[in-house]
């Protein structure tokens, strides 16, 4: 008979075989079982509490049990615990070595200070040496390092402003404090011999700074427009880790506050906003506020970040989680390799050799914020009601020109224009055709002053 628990043939010890020679010893594996639970009631009478039975089992019957054990709940739980331990080790770096070295260095310094004090005070002095635990000693924090790095960038930005003025333009800088207490670097270009007819507030793109648009600002000066540029948080001469943006809503709020200051300093003058790439997305979200809409007379956007796609779709899925756990982590998968932004070799060299331009890998939180603001703009294009002028290169591989076309079509503005340039790339104002593009922008502004 067959046992239901082990699926083995159970034969009583006293059973006699008719032809024993027909069974070959290597065909069966004999096991001894105590009280097997058999499916047949007849064998219950043959098995007693003190008797043993012999089970005949095929040699291959144990493989399925070992495979089932491999995927059992206990093994899976052990694997999960192992993975959890690995993640914890990655998230929390070892500090034992640092503490040990700090203690040893502290003891060494303590001994040297003690010997020095005894030498100065003399052998007869009984002055006590106070020992301070290493944990109480001030240590250079990451915040201090970031502040020092931001101060160095600000010093360079100020130096460039002092060297930027000429006979036709007066360049100045100022420091603007945000609602969060961050210091933002701003600069202005004012025409010297031309009457000011309007004001333009300029927002740069991701990883760059407002000083890169000095040539464009001087062209606007020549046509009677005073220009203000602001380095948003984490960029140029402003506070924050270079190219790290904890929230683009911070930049949107800072833009609103800065607009109020500019209008207060220039009463009665029409105010326009210019934004490039991510700066264009910041401008768009700011003017969706009804209060800001009433402040501005129009917006100009070049290559706005209304539609952005990372190089791998997995980043969209992982970005919210990773940006929460490791916001400052730099990941190269989000950047398409060697993306050209201009067809002018000299402009590319000038950009990527500029210390105020960030050239490292994109930080996870910053990338997530860009995806978040573009998603918001995609859902709210029909709320835009300010005069709009969009310019985009059709060969742009950083931001999507089709998204700019969609913005133009869905915007509720009655005064809207779009210009798409065949063969041009992302940085329109640094392309070989920059003079013609600046002329288009100035012509649009002149018609609305």
Domains, the chain, in order of start with CATH, read 9-74 (no CATH), 143-446 (3.40.50.1820)
What are the tokens at 234?
Answer: 């984490």
Please give the span between the terminal C-alpha atoms of the chain, in angstroms, as a whole number.
Answer: 102
How confident is the model at residue 375, as a pLDDT? 92
Q: Rounded to whole angstroms, how far apart are CA atoms 261 and 266?
A: 9
Q: Which of 47-61, 182-196, 398-412 has the lowest mean pLDDT?
A: 47-61
Q: 305 and 277 in contact (C-beta within 8 Å)?
A: yes
Position 323 pLDDT exceeds 80 = no
- 286-309, pLDDT tens digit by residue? 999 999 999 999 999 999 999 876
Residue 6 binned pLDDT confidence (cut-offs 50, 70, 90): low
Q: pLDDT > 90: what percent of the chain?
A: 57
Position 4 pLDDT exceeds 60 = no
H helix intervals, 232-344: 248-265, 278-287, 290-293, 314-325
Identify which has the larger pLDDT, 19 or 385: 385
Question: Which residue shows structure tokens 């918001």?
Answer: 376
Position 94 pLDDT exceeds 50 = no
Q: Rounded to whole angstroms, how far apart are CA atoms 81 and 79?
A: 5
Beta bridge partners of 173: 187
75-84 long-range contacts (CB < 8 A, ≥24 apart) are none
Q: 186 and 174 in contact (C-beta within 8 Å)?
A: yes
What are the tokens at 171?
Answer: 């360049």
- Mean pLDDT in residue range 151-180: 93
Q: Which of 82-96, 226-240, 397-411 has the lowest mean pLDDT?
A: 82-96
Identify which has the larger pLDDT, 1 or 276: 276
pTM attached to this predicted model: 0.69
Residue 325 binned pLDDT confidence (cut-offs 50, 70, 90): confident
H helix intervals, 163-304: 214-222, 248-265, 278-287, 290-293
How confident is the model at residue 102, as a pLDDT? 45
How confident is the model at residue 284, as a pLDDT? 98
How confident is the model at residue 327, as a pLDDT? 77
């Amino acid at each position: 008979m067959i046992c239901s628990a082990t699926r083995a043939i159970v034969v009583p010890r006293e059973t006699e075989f008719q032809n024993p020679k027909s069974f070959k010893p290597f065909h069966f594996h004999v096991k001894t079982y105590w009280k097997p639970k058999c499916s047949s009631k007849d064998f219950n009478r043959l098995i007693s509490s003190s008797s043993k039975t012999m089970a005949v089992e095929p040699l291959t019957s144990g493989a399925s049990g070992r495979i089932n054990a491999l995927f059992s709940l206990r093994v899976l739980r052990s694997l999960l615990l192992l993975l959890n331990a690995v993640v914890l080790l990655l998230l929390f770096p070892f500090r034992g070595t640092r503490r040990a070295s700090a203690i040893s260095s502290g003891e060494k310094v303590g001994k040297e200070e003690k010997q020095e004090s005894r030498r100065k005070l003399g052998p007869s002095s009984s002055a006590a040496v106070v020992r301070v635990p290493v944990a109480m000693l001030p240590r250079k924090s990451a915040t201090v390092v970031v502040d020092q790095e931001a101060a160095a960038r600000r010093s360079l930005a100020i130096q460039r402003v002092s060297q930027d003025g000429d006979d036709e333009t007066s360049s100045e800088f100022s420091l603007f404090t945000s609602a969060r207490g961050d210091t933002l670097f701003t600069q202005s270009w004012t025409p010297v011999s031309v009457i000011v007819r309007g004001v333009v507030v300029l927002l740069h793109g991701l990883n760059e700074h407002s000083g890169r648009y000095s040539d464009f600002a001087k062209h606007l000066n020549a046509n009677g427009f005073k220009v203000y540029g602001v380095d948003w948080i984490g960029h140029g001469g402003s506070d924050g880790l270079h190219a790290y943006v904890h929230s683009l809503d911070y930049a949107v709020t800072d833009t609103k506050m800065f607009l109020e200051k500019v209008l207060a300093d220039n009463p009665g003058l029409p105010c326009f906003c210019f934004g490039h790439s991510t700066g264009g997305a910041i401008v768009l979200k700011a003017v969706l506020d009804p209060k800001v809409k009433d402040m501005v007379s129009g917006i100009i956007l070049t290559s706005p970040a209304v539609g952005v796609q990372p190089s791998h779709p997995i980043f969209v899925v992982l970005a919210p989680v990773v940006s929460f756990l490791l916001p400052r982590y730099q990941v190269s998968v989000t950047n398409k390799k060697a993306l050209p932004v201009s067809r002018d070799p000299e402009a590319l060299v000038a950009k990527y050799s500029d210390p105020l331009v960030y050239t490292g890998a994109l930080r996870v939180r910053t990338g997530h914020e860009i995806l978040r603001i573009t998603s918001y703009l995609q859902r709210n294009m029909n709320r835009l009601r300010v005069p709009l002028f969009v310019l985009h290169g059709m060969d742009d591989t950083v931001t999507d020109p089709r998204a700019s076309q969609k913005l133009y079509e869905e915007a509720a503005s009655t005064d809207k224009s779009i210009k798409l340039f065949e063969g041009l790339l992302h940085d329109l104002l640094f392309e070989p055709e920059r003079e013609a593009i600046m002329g288009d922008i100035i012509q649009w502004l002149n018609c609305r002053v």
